[in-house]
Amino acid sequence: MSDSPLSVYPVKPQIQATAHVRSMAEYERLYRLSLDNPEWFWGEQAKTLSWFHPWTQVFDADYDAVDFAWYSGGRLNACYNCVDRHLPTRGDQTAIIWAADEPGVYKHITYRELKHDVCRIANVLIAHGVRKGDRVCIYMPMIPETVATMLACARIGAVHSVVFGGFSAESLRDRIIDAGCKVVVTANVGMRGGREIPLKTITDRAVDGLSLVESVLVARRTDKEVPMRQGRDHWLDDEMRKQRSTCTVEWMGSEDPLFILYTSGSTGKPKGVLHTTAGYMVYAAFTHKTVFDYRDGDVYCCAADVGWITGHSYIVYGPLANGATTVLFESVPTYPNAGRYWQVVDDLGINIFYTAPTALRAIAQAGDEPVRKSSRASLRILGSVGEPINPEIWRWYHDVVGEGRCAVVDTWWQTETGGILISPLPGVTPAKPGSATLPFFGVKPLVVDPESGKIIEGNGVSGALCLSTPWPGQARTVWGDHERFKLTYFSQYKPYYFTGDGCRRDEDGYYWITGRIDDVLNVSGHRLGTAEVESALVAHEAVAEAAVVGFPHDIKGTGIYAYVLIGAEYQDRDPAQLEGALKEQVRHAIGAFATPDVIHIAPGLPKTRSGKIMRRILRKIASSEYTGLGDTTTLAEPEVVDKLVAQHRLRFPSKE
């Protein structure tokens, strides 16, 4: 391995190689096979699922139409694969361990119990008119009913659209309308870090006046009473009690939709990314088993929220398809203190733990003490996802949390990819802190020159990250807008899939994700379009124009910095009050996680003479980089830059 600016962590003898791939030589051989003969390779992987009817063709595509089909002719059911097929051998095994927000409160649910809950909920959905192909919105906290509802949808062929419980009523409403959901499943409240989240109240606001929504089913997270609208709202537990605990499985075509999940892009409203049944399930199950080296009897915990793709693929579908015991963690990493994760690890004997760098940064701040209070003896593999992991945090994860005896897997992927695409294999791939290392089987990353669109061959290169080969887990379309799907992902570097990320391929062929190169921010691992935040801001009557950029943030990775131009009649307002109102505006329009860290009431925005905002300059100022702003003399109002710099300096004197 050649020199690298950062140290290489060779695989230590005490770290066991994954049971599924035992050496680099085996990885390389299988990787080559997967690219040379993808149909054979992916056909083999699909055999691990249970099929009602086998496929007749592994892969089929119309590249011009951007239409991909995997396992055509096959019929299967995702819920059957996650639940029913395990009953003969694992009926009494724990499928889900719910780790409640309240420290020390756990609930174990066996595969048999899960099946009964899923069937009851499936029957409730049917009783409320849900049929194959109908959409169901799930706006719920991290409770067992949430997973059961996702699986219940899959069982009857309904398409779920899970909306993260941190989204506002307005965002929820937009998503319900876009997907055309006839039923919304929510809870009276959610609990996070000891705080109550009024999910039902938010849902009421979201569905107010929407004739589309026929029923709202409400899970009971606590005893709290909430207003129930006669005829529309029903308690989920009451409804479940009326139903039988068996429900026939709907056998789905391989390409029938499994779920919609909304995600942000650089333009317009969030897109409903659509995943279909067979390819997604094969990919989620295979990556879960291989990347996390899942072994029978392991306790596996992914601490993400089911409202994001990580929760879909690596709390629910991947682990359950593999018959795993999966932990559903309701709380936050800092509640009641920064040792919470490791307390849960010890309480449950967790072997594999998967979280985001933002969570690690938040708890590493409290030092090593909260970690050292726990034993963590059960841990074998530590995963990271959602954003680039800083090498210092990688080392902390590896050395302090894992005490050097656990493999760290930094997994790169996206909502659209359905599963992990670039990642080390534990105990096999030598790691470099901060690099997601090498591509997974069947994945061929390309580095493309953003200016010329040409592929950059060789190692030691940087550019836009594209993918040249299809893989079963990739999204098939944007719900209701296939043109947008084509345009967003397959038009810039046709015919390749463009990820939106920049990357470097180092001298060893290792990939280093450098972050988004489109107008998407990754805030605490949550994906947000700058355009979304801008349109939330301009919806406020005081705002004439807004430009939102990211800046480096110690905990969040990227912070949100909003430059706003205020209308003449608001110029005399108290700036602090106005800033507060604008933050509230964004919270209201999108959700608390989208709240700008900084509102900069600006005298103007740097624009070219043709009116294009120079975001590069705004990003630099927001990051306290006042040099290298480039030639500003060609701007419509060059003096604006100096004014912005002076204001920023005054406000953040310590950042220089």
Q: Is 532 a binder of ligand PRX (CB under 6 A)? A: no
Q: Is 524 a binder of ligand PRX (CB under 6 A)? A: no
Buried-state track 12-50, b at ≥16 Cβ within 10 A, e below 16: eeebbbbebbeebeebeebbeebbeebeebbbebbeebe
Is the backbone peptide bond immediately before 336 cis, with ω within 30 degrees of 0?
yes
Tell me which of 168, 499, 530, 558 binds ligand PRX, using CB under 6 A: 499
Taking the least distance from each CB to ligand PRX, the nearer of 215 and 310 is: 310
Dmax over CA atoms of the chain, in Å, equals 74
Q: Is 558 a binder of ligand PRX (CB under 6 A)? A: no
Taking the least distance from each CB to ligand PRX, the nearer of 420 and 542 is: 420
Sign of the C-alpha dihedral computed for residues 52, 54, 55 and 58 taken in this order? positive
Q: Of residues 2-21, which lie at the interface with ligand PRX (CB under 6 A)?
A: none
Round to whole Å and give the CA distance between 599 and 573: 14
Q: Chain-centre distance of CA 127, in angstroms?
A: 32
Kind of pairing between the strands at 381-385 and 445-448: unpaired
Q: Of residues 297-356, which lie at the interface with ligand PRX (CB under 6 A)?
A: 308-310
Q: Is 599 a binder of ligand PRX (CB under 6 A)? A: no
Q: Pick the piece of the chain touching ligand PRX (CB under 6 A) from 252-260, 407-415, 577-585, 613-621.
A: 407-415
**Minimum CB distance to ligand PRX, residue 520 (Å):** 7
Residue 612 near residue 584, CB atoms below 8 Å: no
Tell me which of 168, 276, 411, 474 binds ligand PRX, using CB under 6 A: 411
The helix/strand/coil state of 384 is: strand
Tell me which of 117, 250, 305, 410 binds ligand PRX, using CB under 6 A: 410
Round to whole Å and give the CA distance between 459 and 480: 40
**Minimum CB distance to ligand PRX, residue 201 (Å):** 27
Q: Is 435 a binder of ligand PRX (CB under 6 A)? A: no
Q: Is 84 a binder of ligand PRX (CB under 6 A)? A: no
Taking the least distance from each CB to ligand PRX, the nearer of 255 and 387 is: 387
In 3D space, the residue among 133, 202, 174, 157 whose CA is nearest the CA of residue 262 turns out to be 174
Tell me which of 156, 421, 447, 513 binds ligand PRX, using CB under 6 A: 513
Phi, psi of 466 (to 5 degrees): -125, 165
Q: Chain-centre distance of CA 121, in angstroms?
A: 25
Q: Is 374 a binder of ligand PRX (CB under 6 A)? A: no
Q: Is 386 a binder of ligand PRX (CB under 6 A)? A: yes
Round to whole Å and give the CA distance between 496 and 535: 30
Taking the least distance from each CB to ligand PRX, the nearer of 45 and 417 is: 417
Q: Of residues 207-266, which lie at the interface with ligand PRX (CB under 6 A)?
A: 263
Tell me which of 146, 168, 415, 477 binds ligand PRX, using CB under 6 A: 415
Going by C-beta distance under 8 Å and a sequence separation of 6 or more, which residues neighbour residue 64? Answer: none
Q: Is 427 a binder of ligand PRX (CB under 6 A)? A: no
Taking the least distance from each CB to ligand PRX, the nearer of 74 and 445 is: 445
Round to whole Å and give the CA distance between 91 and 312: 22
Q: Is 527 a binder of ligand PRX (CB under 6 A)? A: yes
In 3D space, the residue among 478, 418, 66, 417 whose CA is nearest the CA of residue 272 turns out to be 478
**Minimum CB distance to ligand PRX, residue 557 (Å):** 9
Q: Is 393 a binder of ligand PRX (CB under 6 A)? A: no
Q: Is 500 a binder of ligand PRX (CB under 6 A)? A: yes
Sign of the C-alpha dihedral computed for residues 543, 548, 552 and 558 taken in this order? positive
Taking the least distance from each CB to ligand PRX, the nearer of 157 and 473 is: 473
Tell me which of 15, 249, 406, 436 binds ligand PRX, using CB under 6 A: 436
Q: Determine the size of the site formed for ligand PRX (CB under 6 A).
A: 23
Round to whole Å and give the CA distance between 583 and 600: 11
Round to whole Å and give the CA distance between 386 and 310: 8
Separation in Å, CA 306 to CA 75, 114, 138, 500, 630: 26, 17, 10, 23, 43
**Minimum CB distance to ligand PRX, residue 608 (Å):** 27
Taking the least distance from each CB to ligand PRX, the nearer of 261 and 582 is: 261
Tell me which of 516, 540, 556, 615 binds ligand PRX, using CB under 6 A: 516
**Minimum CB distance to ligand PRX, residue 424 (Å):** 11
Q: Is 488 a binder of ligand PRX (CB under 6 A)? A: no
Tell me which of 279, 333, 388, 591 binds ligand PRX, using CB under 6 A: 388
Q: Is 277 a binder of ligand PRX (CB under 6 A)? A: no
Separation in Å, CA 77 to CA 151, 196, 370: 10, 35, 43
Round to whole Å and give the CA distance between 196 and 24: 48
What is the binding site for ligand PRX (CB under 6 A)? 263, 308-310, 385-388, 410-415, 436, 499-501, 513, 515-516, 522, 527
